[in-house]
Structure 1
């Protein structure tokens, strides 16, 4: 029971850990409940719109007062050069650059370390020498599963002079199912950092990594949001991916105790610690439950026993969020917990009555559950509210949208410069790149379409290299509503496994990610289609419409359309130069193309014009 999340969390068994650290160091403060409750007394001053050209007239102004943008801090952490990973002091010195001397430096350092750590693809370091002597060696240990994120985080914090304790306990994660009491496979490590005179919980692994698409077998799905299903669940191992989750950076300890229970009760950091038995018996509540400000009004237990045929679960949301929340559910029967003939009947959805009634009363939700046969049931309650969505995958330092990496790979003049593409369900969408003339013949391209829970097997993506046009065409067809990640990898070798990701897109069927008005969205969405196949007049008309609808002229989509006009004009100039066969015209055209932004696209044409010019000079 609880608010479900499509990503799960692995636990770590201590026997697999090679590097051991003392849980605390000498002179560390004792673990006591937070004196400042959930929030820090001194807030970090993040400035989202930092302008470096605006400074203070006070030359003696303390370094703490300089504005700092959260995005800049995260970018700094994600772009650490590999050359800085040869020593811990070297890495921390680099991470410390933008925050050194600030009053809230320790809080910022914790975040910077976690952002950096979450950006590391540890699988790429598997073949390296595993050692605890350097950050590079430690990444190899992580890739080889010979150490833990908690241990690496502890080392980094202590080198950075941030007091960091390592906590051993059990977590409801991995293969955990509500009602499990065997904790042998639930052992886990996490941390606490001492910030502003209080210990604060950090779960580095859950901040950095998630298992997406994992499903358990052994259940019969009876119903999903009012629809009879009658299907046995199939096990899926899932895929471990990087996924930065801020919730596990200094979470409320009264919430965290629903996920993790330390061996030492003092590290619960609660005024009223609970026993291991209570921890295992209480409801299985995940972060979305707390984020949506929900309360469990019925019995706080993960296992409920009903002597009758019905049971009611009651939740309450805050009045502020009540109208924005849309709760759904899955209702399942454990295989083998009922008579075989009864279970077989449950696999016939056409003969099954509706078993769960979802009743909404202002800010209160009631789930009235009926049990047609005796057995063990499970209900998973989750939120389908648009806007509370997980990104399909972590794009790393590339982010979403074309940039320098795609340009260097020879993918030029993209039809979609915005990293977020809003599309219509079941309507194929084309993305195009012009290809550099010196690479298009040997270029290999791989495209991957990823949705966050890996369940959609019907949506598709295909790519076509049109060598006559020197264009890469990528066709996506999204069958189900939702958010999808598109990865584009390129290389010039024959091995598709050796290709490098050069561009990511976030493709969505929802307009929630757009802050524009409807008329602006309509005008903007006409631009890519006109860029792809429209005439010069059509592109010009769509640009004018966008500007008329108050989309700025320096908008990336408008600028991209203007670039397409430039390319079309250059193609026309080249064509005309060949037709006129006039030396002066050809030389002028060659000079114009060479000095333009599009020289890489037209290198072959430039060479052909050069040859024609030589022929004219010698004739």
Structure 2
């Protein structure tokens, strides 16, 4: 066991493995039962209690589990024992119930009696009164404690107060729920102090450091137990991620921030799709911070666009009124048992111009997803949620038919009846019945929702149709598309030039690094993917360095110079984005930036250019070469 410099306890460093590697609840049943059933008389002295709890246990994980379970199972002392010594487990429980002893101090004492190294940690905690995105100064006032215990050859984190108690139902009265899963709510929470409850929550037992850092920020950086420590600014800025976010291995795509600012009256968040799960949302308005109530005629239903595309799902919020909002993302394996996943604060200074609700806001959202395939269809021509159309031109969407189904299509608009729009849709079987083509020719500009429903061929009842896919059709980008494409292509070209002109010595310096940081490896993985290397190859750092050492026409710089947006594989771009988007920056890399930031900037600009072209290409004049320097530079001042 490596010791710290003072020689009194093990060296403080990140644990060698994760909670799941050392703790299996199913293997602790016997330990838990024995701790819960501990006779009262064993708690009269610490030595006697520890001896009872730990006798026969084979390792220190079992020992700390026994102590933890005993504390969590014996919180309800209904009798006062006047003769109990304060230096006994019974006496300590009585002190704790009177507020004279913390869960933390009690647990540290138990561990030390069992010869388990245990340290109390102080710091900032996102406890009951915390709201996502709150000001740094206010957050710093939330001081709390937790512990680190040394078991299984590493320091492990436990939060006794959260593991053994909670406050249920607390609300500060500042938030008004305005929309939930496409339905208007318009209900303000009443202020309620909450109800203190005792329970046993295993989520705060041996919690992995990379998870607890989202909620607890220690005063001493070493107790983060992370290879790459967080700053307080990052701790304050991240989204509020609930237990399900970690248990379901969710991943936020794009800027990893819980403080979002609207652009053109909109905010968008995106997460990696999780097969087998359903998702929903709740949108809240902060009356206090916004400085005013929403007017009764401001019904914010159908202002959140829920969409799935390219292995992601997300929510685009349109703001009809300025103010401070909170978006709560929920999910679960069943639609009737959603849990909170994550939350974001959204600030809108200027509402969206001509902000109108969506034509519909379906429960399954917009864009092809797992429900589409379960309903017998697979999208072939359009895999995105939003389809851009040109005025007076038909838009054809093609599906592969996976099983015998009847297909029903409907078109919706805010001002034109669905019955009237039915004549704008034509659906035809194709490829000997293996495909179906749906062509839409809308009568005027604006937004439309195309709803696609299916039923099995042997279910002929009209109510047997189920919604399996939806598209939002719009031509809002028709006039601005060329300029948007030029801007993104120009940014990509400039980032490419910075890579090409970079001093090769900077790349050579990377090859000298034997053990890279996660950030460096991620960025170089994404870069090599973009220039044609396969994923399994780039996971090996030694192989990455070999590629970086290549000179001449096959060097990384030469291959970046030859990169073309038009021929870039969409799936590869998505994969590159998912690997290193947490390092993306809104600012351009400077000419003197280090190699990793220069490469990251190029990956970001190239991926965004590909996404923009894929979305808006049909608005460009036929035959446009959007990678031609003349096209890119034509509007440059």
Aligned partner of 1:206 among 153, 162, 168:
162
* Regions of 4+ moved over 4 Å: 23-26, 37-40, 43-46, 125-132, 386-391
Alignment of 1:246-395 (within 5 A): 246-317=202-273, 322-338=274-290, 340=292, 343-345=293-295, 347-348=296-297, 351-361=299-309, 363-386=311-334
Deviation at 1:44, TM superposition (A): 6.0
Distance 1:75 1:221 in 2: 43
Distance 1:390 1:146 in 2: 39
Who is 1:493 aligned against?
Answer: none
Distance 2:64 2:92 in 1: 18
Aligned partner of 1:154 among 108, 114, 117:
108
Aligned partner of 1:96 among 30, 35, 54:
54
Distance 2:337 2:68 in 1: 21
The answer to whether structure 1 residue 144 and structure 2 residue 98 are counterparts is yes
Alignment of 1:23-42 (within 5 A): 27-36=8-17, 40=21
Report the TM-score when normalising by structure 2. 0.49
Distance 1:30 1:193 in 2: 12
1:380 aligns to what SS in structure 2?
A: strand
CA deviation string 1:204-260 (max 9, x = no partner): 222222222222311111011221001111122222222222222222211211111
Alignment of 1:423-462 (within 5 A): none
CA deviation string 1:123-182 (max 9, x = no partner): 636786786401011111111112211111100011011111111111111101112222
CA contact (8 A) 2:133 2:239 kept: no
| Closer, same or farther: CA 249–45 of 1 in aligned 2, 3 Å | closer
1:323 aligns to what SS in structure 2?
A: coil
Distance 1:84 1:390 in 2: 42
Distance 1:298 1:45 in 2: 34
Aligned partner of 1:73 among 5, 28, 31:
31
CA deviation string 1:315-363 (max 9, x = no partner): 114xxxx2332222211111144464xx342x457x4441212223475
Distance 1:316 1:228 in 2: 27
Distance 1:376 1:138 in 2: 45
| Closer, same or farther: CA 205–26 of 1 in aligned 2, 3 Å | farther
Distance 2:87 2:48 in 1: 12
Distance 1:24 1:371 in 2: 56
Deviation at 1:90, TM superposition (A): 0.9
1:191 aligns to what SS in structure 2?
A: strand
| Closer, same or farther: CA 161–24 of 1 in aligned 2, 3 Å | farther
| Closer, same or farther: CA 294–113 of 1 in aligned 2, 3 Å | same
Distance 2:259 2:116 in 1: 40
Distance 2:152 2:142 in 1: 31
Distance 1:388 1:269 in 2: 38
CA contact (8 A) 2:149 2:157 kept: yes
Distance 1:31 1:194 in 2: 10
Who is 2:123 aligned against?
Answer: 169
CA deviation string 1:47-76 (max 9, x = no partner): x5xxxxxxxxxxxxxxxxxxxx53222111
| Closer, same or farther: CA 308–131 of 1 in aligned 2, 3 Å | farther
Which ranges of structure 2 fall in alignment gaps of 5 or more residues?
340-637
Aligned partner of 2:44 among 63, 83, 86:
86
2:147 aligns to what SS in structure 1?
A: strand
Distance 1:359 1:305 in 2: 20
CA contact (8 A) 1:258 1:282 kept: yes
CA deviation string 1:453-474 (max 9, x = no partner): xxxxxxxxxxxxxxxxxxxxxx
Distance 2:177 2:338 in 1: 24
Distance 2:175 2:77 in 1: 33
Distance 1:259 1:74 in 2: 27
CA contact (8 A) 2:331 2:338 kept: no
Provide the aligned C-alpha RMSD in A.
2.9
Distance 1:262 1:115 in 2: 25
CA deviation string 1:376-412 (max 9, x = no partner): 1111122243499799xxxxxxxxxxxxxxxxxxxxx
Who is 1:119 aligned against?
Answer: 73
| Closer, same or farther: CA 390–136 of 1 in aligned 2, 3 Å | farther
Distance 1:126 1:265 in 2: 41
| Closer, same or farther: CA 132–328 of 1 in aligned 2, 3 Å | farther
CA contact (8 A) 1:113 1:156 kept: yes
Which ranges of structure 1 fall in alignment gaps of 5 or more residues?
1-22, 49-68, 392-619
CA contact (8 A) 2:163 2:202 kept: yes
CA contact (8 A) 1:114 1:207 kept: no
Report the TM-score when normalising by structure 1. 0.50
2:123 aligns to what SS in structure 1?
A: strand
CA contact (8 A) 1:167 1:190 kept: yes
CA deviation string 1:296-323 (max 9, x = no partner): 1132112111142111101114xxxx23
Aligned partner of 2:190 among 234, 248, 255:
234
Distance 1:372 1:311 in 2: 12
